[in-house]
Structure 1
Amino acid sequence: MNIENWWPLLKSSTRQWLIDNNGDVVPPSILDQITAVAGYPTAEASWVADNCAEDFLLSDQAIDWIEEAANDEDAGGE
């Protein structure tokens, strides 16, 4: 599932955390909320970074998308 599809299904507090911490390591509690709506992250998912370490990161594409979504929300969208 693409970020465009699961983003609106997240709690607003989860979306806000992702906006406020865009590019940071995604903590297990936030990742659990994402996987509840998007399914388990696979290497093929465009929103998943190359997570070789134990920390989970979103892909550059997802980080850019979140930044754009945040800017739209700040402009009165959503």
Structure 2
Amino acid sequence: MSIEKWWPKLKPSTREWLIEHNGDAVPAEVLAEIAEAGGSATTGGWWVGSSGPSGFYFSDQAVDWIEAVSPQPP
């Protein structure tokens, strides 16, 4: 499922964390919530970046997408 579909299903606090930590490794509990919302990090979707010993990362496109949907300061 694409990020546009599961993003609105996340808790507001999770979306805020992802915005504030955009580009950082995604904690396991956040990744679990994304999976519950329909986003599987194993599907190879465009938002899936790398995964390794330091954790899961969104793709550059997903980081840009999150930045674009982030509220802009006045």
How high is the TM-score relative to the length of structure 2?
0.87
Q: Which amino acid aligns with 2:72?
A: D
Aligned equivalents of 1:29, 1:50: Cα separation in 2: 17
Moved over 4 A (4+): none
**2:72 pairs with 1:74:** yes
Structure 2 match to 1:28: 28
Q: Is the 8 A contact 2:3 2:39 kept in 1?
A: no
Larger strand share, 1 or 2: 2
Alpha carbons of structure 1 residues 43 and 24: separation in structure 2 relative to 1, 3 Å: same
The runs of 5 or more residues in structure 2 that have no matched partner are: none
Over the residues paired in the alignment, what is the CA RMSD in angstroms?
1.5
Q: Which amino acid aligns with 1:74?
A: Q
Identity across the alignment (%): 47
Number of matched residues?
A: 72
Q: Is the 8 A contact 1:43 1:50 kept in 2?
A: no
Larger helix share, 1 or 2: 1
Q: After the TM superposition, which of the residue ranges 27-36 and 41-50 deviates more from structure 2? A: 41-50
Q: Which amino acid aligns with 1:30?
A: V
How high is the TM-score relative to the length of structure 1?
0.83
Q: Which amino acid aligns with 2:13?
A: S
